[in-house]
């Protein structure tokens, strides 16, 4: 039996390209969710760093917690930490009475995206609250 080398027809090529395109679209449809989850993990790690720094700060300062809002790099230097990423704005609020409470908040920066404008918080008893179900 002899086979002729006919090559690939345009129709066959188009069918293969359509199938590859569909598979790629299915694969990359979850990319936004994955990216937002990673950003949420960044904020969670930073809030735990703030939590631990607040505990150390209170030990050194007669059980008074640190306040800042919005917090910048100099505030984090005062706490002895350096936060990673630039996807969130951070704020720390505490009560005036010593040994009571503080709340650290991470607010998602951006006007678009799955969790734009949402917040994540941690309190003095390490309770985490996440404002976006993608985190």
Query: CA-based angle 133:82:134, to the nearest 5?
Result: 10
Q: Is 108 helix (H, G, I), strand (E, B) or coil?
A: strand
Any idea what DSSP says for residue 112?
Answer: S
- What is the average pLDDT across 58-77? 91
Question: Which tens digit of pLDDT belongs to each residue from 30-47?
Answer: 777 888 899 999 999 999
- What is the average pLDDT across 5-28? 84
Q: Is 8 helix (H, G, I), strand (E, B) or coil?
A: coil
Report field, pTM of the whole predicted structure over 0.95: no
What is the pLDDT at residue 39?
A: 92
Question: Which tens digit of pLDDT belongs to each residue from 72-124?
Answer: 999 999 999 999 888 999 999 988 765 678 999 999 998 777 899 999 999 99
Q: Which residue has the higher pLDDT, 27 or 62?
A: 62
For residue 116, which of 31, 40, 41 has the smallest C-alpha distance?
Answer: 40
What is the pLDDT at residue 119?
A: 96
Helix residue ranges per DSSP H, the chain: 10-28, 31-60, 73-79
Any idea what DSSP says for residue 113?
Answer: S
- The reply to whether omega before 111 is within 30° of 0 (cis) is no
What is the pLDDT at residue 110?
A: 85
What is the pLDDT at residue 98?
A: 57
- What is the average pLDDT across 8-20? 90
């Amino acid at each position: 039996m002899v086979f002729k080398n006919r090559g690939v027809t345009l129709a066959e090529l188009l069918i293969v390209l359509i199938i590859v395109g569909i598979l790629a679209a299915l694969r990359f449809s979850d990319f936004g969710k994955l990216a937002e989850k990673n950003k949420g993990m960044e904020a969670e790690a930073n809030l735990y760093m703030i939590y631990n720094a607040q505990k150390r700060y209170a030990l050194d300062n007669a059980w008074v917690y640190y306040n800042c809002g919005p917090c910048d790099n100099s505030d984090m230097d005062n706490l002895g930490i350096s936060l990673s990423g630039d996807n969130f704005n951070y704020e720390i609020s505490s009560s005036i009475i010593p040994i009571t409470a503080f709340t650290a908040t991470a607010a998602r920066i951006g006007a678009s995206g799955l969790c734009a404008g949402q917040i994540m918080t941690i309190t003095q008893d390490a309770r985490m609250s996440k404002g976006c179900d993608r985190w």
